[in-house]
Amino acid sequence: MDQSVRSRAISGALRLGVHPFMHRVPGHAPSIRTARSAVDAASLLLRAGSRARVVPLADPRVESPGDRPVRGEWVVTRDAPEAPAAGTSPAGAILYLHGGGYVVCSPRTHRSITSRLAVETGLPVLVPRYRLAPEHPFPAALEDAVAAYRWLLDRGVPASGIVVAGDSAGGHLAATLAGEICRTGLPSPAGIVLFSPWVDLTCELSTREQRRARDPYISAYAARRVARLVVGPGGFDDPRLALLTCAWTDTPPVLIQVGGAEVLRPEAEALADALTAAGADCELQVWKGQMHVFQILNRVLPEASAAMRDAARFIGSVTAPAPKKSEVAA
C-alpha cells in the first residue's frame, strides 16, 4: 500500500513540530515527570470509542499473598454481556502492554488501539497499569506484566486463548514477558503481537539508522538517554533485556508491525530474523512510509486501520480452536 496523502501530511507536521522537541528531551527524572503530566492531561481527551467500553480493574490479590496486585482496565465491546472483572472467565483475552518508553503513558493513552482490538477480535483486552521508571526501574514493569498474565490464568482464561501484545516499550515488555513465561515454565500464550517494538534498549541499531531515516517522531538519541533511566543501577547487563540474544525456544506465533520510516525498523527486522532463526513462526510487516506506532491513529489513517485489521486477523488465527478430528477427516 502506497502512503496516503493524509499520512504524508501528518508525518510532515510531526517532523516539523514534534521531532525537534523529542530529539532534545533530557534524560533526567524531572523532565520525565513533566512529560508524564502533559501526556496524562492529554489522555483525558481520549475515549474508547462508541463500540467499546472501559471497566476499571484493581485486584489486590489477597488470596495470593506472594503475587503482586493487578491494576489497570478491561476494554470490552459495548454489547459484552458482562465485564470479565465481574467474575466471568472468558475463553480468551488480549494482554496489552502500552508503550511510552517505560516512563510515560498509561492504559488510558492507548485506548484507540485497545478498543479497536476489542471490537475487531471480540476478545476482552486487559491493559495493566505497570510501574514506570525512573521511580521503578527494570524489572518492575516485567514483574507487573508477569503478575497480569498469572492473574488471567488464575481466573480461568486458558493460555491457548491469550495473546500478549504491546507497542514500542510495551512491545519490548511483551517480548520480554514471553521469554520470562518460557523461563519460568508458565503455559505459553497463543501468540504475540508487537507494534513498532523497542527491541534494543542500548539503541545501537536505531542510532545508526537515525543518520538516514526520516522518522517524524522518534529520536534514537533521546531514546538512549531515557533507556539509562529505565535500566537503573543494574545497567544493560540483565539478560532479560537482550531480546536479540534470547534463545526463543517454544515461542508461539509472532506478528511484528513496524513503520518503514521509523528508526526502530532495523531493530524489528533483527528481532524477526532472530525469531525465524530459532524456528519460530514470525510474520514481519513493514508499512511503507509509516511512523512509530502509527496504529494509534487508526481512526484517521487508512494504513493504521488496515494494520489493525491485519492484527485482528492474526489474533483470530492463533486463538481459533483446533478443528475436531471429524472435521479434519471430512
C-alpha cell at 307: 494494520
**What's the domain count of the chain?**
1
Residue type, 184: T
With DSSP H G I counted as helix, E B as strand and the rest as coil, what are the percentages for the chain, rounded to 5? Answer: 45, 15, 40
The CATH number assigned to the domain holding 253 equals: 3.40.50.1820
Average pLDDT over residues 15-40: 62
278 and 219 Cβ atoms separated by less than 8 Å: no
Residue 184 inside a domain? The answer is yes
Residue 1 in this model has a pLDDT that exceeds 90: no
Reported as a pLDDT band with limits 50, 70 and 90, residue 25 is low
Q: What is the pLDDT of residues 42-81, one digit of tens each?
A: 777 767 778 999 999 999 987 777 789 999 999 999 988 7
Beta-ladder partners of 69: none
Q: Out of 172, 206, 292, 303, pick the active-site residue.
A: 292
Pairing mode of beta strands 125-128, 70-77: antiparallel
Q: Out of 168, 196, 206, 219, pick the active-site residue.
A: 168
Residue 194 inside a domain? The answer is yes
> Is 292 considered catalytic here?
yes
User: In terms of residue numbers, what domain contains 139?
Assistant: 5-80+90-320
Q: What is the pLDDT of residues 132-153, one digit of tens each?
A: 999 999 999 999 999 999 999 9
**Over the range 283-305, which residues count as b (16 or more CB within 10 Å of their CB) and which as e?**
ebbbbebbbbbbbbbbeebebbb
Residue 226 inside a domain? The answer is yes
Q: Out of 73, 120, 180, 262, pick the active-site residue.
A: 262
Residue 35 inside a domain? The answer is yes
Tracing cell 522518522 back to the chain, one arrives at 215
> Is 168 considered catalytic here?
yes
End-to-end Cα, the chain, rounded Å: 38
Residue 325 inside a domain? The answer is no
Residue 273 inside a domain? The answer is yes
Residue 112 phi, psi dihedral angles, 5° rounding: -65, -30
Angle at 54 between CA 49 and CA 58, to 5 degrees: 160
Residue 326 inside a domain? The answer is no
Q: What is the pLDDT of residues 171-229, one digit of tens each?
A: 999 999 999 999 999 999 999 999 999 999 999 999 888 877 777 777 888 889 899 99
Q: What is the pLDDT of residues 271-326, one digit of tens each?
A: 999 999 999 999 999 999 999 999 999 999 999 999 999 999 999 999 987 665 55
> Is 262 considered catalytic here?
yes
Average pLDDT over residues 4-14: 66
pTM: 0.91
Residue 330 inside a domain? The answer is no
